[in-house]
Chain A
Amino acid sequence: SQQGEEDPQALSIQEGENATMNCSYKTSINNLQWYRQNSGRGLVHLILIRSNEREKHSGRLRVTLDTSKKSSSLLITASRAADTASYFCALPPHNTDKLIFGTGTRLQVFP
Chain B
Amino acid sequence: DTEVTQTPKHLVMGMTNKKSLKCEQHMGHRAMYWYKQKAKKPPELMFVYSYEKLSINESVPSRFSPECPNSSLLNLHLHALQPEDSALYLCASSQVWETQRNEQFFGPGTRLTVL
A residues apposed to B, CB below 8 Å: 3, 30-31, 33, 35, 40-45, 48, 50, 88, 92, 96-104, 106
Contacts and interface: CB of A to CB of B under 8 A. Distances in A.
What range describes how many residues of B lie at the interface? 20 to 34
B102 A104 contact: no
B45 A100 contact: yes
Interface in B42-89: 42-45, 48, 56, 88
Contacts of A99: 33, 45, 102, 104
A31 B25 CA distance: 25
B106 A42 contact: yes
A97 B90 contact: no
Contacts of A104: 40-42
A71 to B, nearest CB: 18
A102 B44 CA distance: 10
Contacts of A43: 43, 90, 92, 104, 106
A97 B97 contact: yes
B111 A98 contact: no
A62 B92 CA distance: 25
A33 B105 CA distance: 12
Contacts of A98: 45, 48, 56
Given A3-B42, A35-B106, A42-B108, 16 more contacts: A31-B99, A33-B102, A40-B88, A40-B109, A40-B111, A43-B43, A96-B99, A97-B48, A98-B48, A99-B102, A99-B104, A100-B45, A104-B40, A104-B41, A104-B42, A106-B40
A103 B43 CA distance: 9
Contact of A45 (B48, B90, B104): B104
Given A43-B90, A99-B45, A30 B100 contact: yes
